[in-house]
Amino acid sequence: MSKFLECIGVGKTYPGKTEPVEALRGIDFACEAGDFVCLLGRSGCGKSTLLQIVAGLERASAGQIVVASRELDGPSPDAAIVFQDHGLFPWMTVQRNVEFNMKARGTPAAERAKIAARFIDMTGLTGFADRYPHELSGGMRQRVGIARALTTGPKALLMDEPFGALDAETRAKLQDELLQIWERQRTTVLFVTHSIDEALLLADRILVFTPRPGRIAADIKVDLPRPRASQSAAFTALAGELRGLIGADRDFD
């Protein structure tokens, strides 16, 4: 299969008060269309920075990003991003929030409504289209953010710790729902997390990042059948390998 996304020698340096701060150095990896890849590492290792660069919201200081055989030089029309803070407009209903990206692209109102209804249903929000964000739970607000991201048919879904602020039960439910959506849509997913268990539950591959400047310390293939059981011997063994790579006894901040 051909490469869908390539990061070639990507680096990022920010100006600092006394000296430059190097966030990323020499990031090299590629993934195929439909891959589910987790970026795993401690806070501050550059995972989210890389996601912003792949989305075209930040510019790399070095190297290049190639998406669908085109070098990225601005916001990518092929990608949609979901943040931990869902970023909903509080004055808009669920329906209007989900339609927002399509409206910005000039999609006719009738088509917007039809597509939004499909993704509202897909993300378990049927019956809530007329609610406002303050009337929803945290998990439901995150579902709205995911639905909005999917409406434009992105080839890549970029997710920056989208479930990090949720309680364990809601997080597990949304992990399952995300996998169901991914299996239907087969969108390429880049998913930032600092949870080893979350990475193992979701990903085909896990890219392990070093502390700043972030580099890829390991590229781990997760060849476990789905649905995955965190109590299985194979899961436990891979979790131990990842903890060894990161130098952590547990999930970390």
- Which pLDDT tens digit goes with each residue over 35-64? 999 999 988 889 999 999 999 899 999 999
Mean pLDDT, all residues of the chain: 90
114, pLDDT greater than 60:
yes
* Cα–Cα distance measured from residue 162 to residue 221, given in angstroms and rounded to the nearest whole number: 22
* pLDDT tens digits along 180-198: 989 988 899 999 999 999 9
Q: What pLDDT does residue 249 have?
A: 45
* pLDDT tens digits along 77-111: 888 999 887 789 999 999 999 999 999 888 999 99
**165 or 173, which is more confident:** 173
Residue 1 pLDDT level (bands cut at 50, 70, 90): low
End-to-end alpha-carbon separation of the chain, Å?
Answer: 36
* Strand-strand pairing, 156-160 and 79-83: parallel
Q: What pLDDT does residue 253 have?
A: 40
Neighbours of 245 (CB within 10 A): 18
Q: Locate the domains of the chain by residue range.
A: 1-78+156-253, 84-153
Is the distance from CB of 60 to CB of 227 less than 8 angstroms? Answer: no
* Cα–Cα distance measured from residue 115 to residue 172, given in angstroms and rounded to the nearest whole number: 26
Compute the average pLDDT of residues 12-39. 93
Q: What percent of the chain has pLDDT over 90?
A: 61
Tell me if the pTM is above 0.75: yes
Q: What pLDDT does residue 250 have?
A: 45
CATH number for the segment(s) 1-78+156-253: 3.40.50.300
**153 or 198, which is more confident:** 198
Residue 212 pLDDT level (bands cut at 50, 70, 90): confident
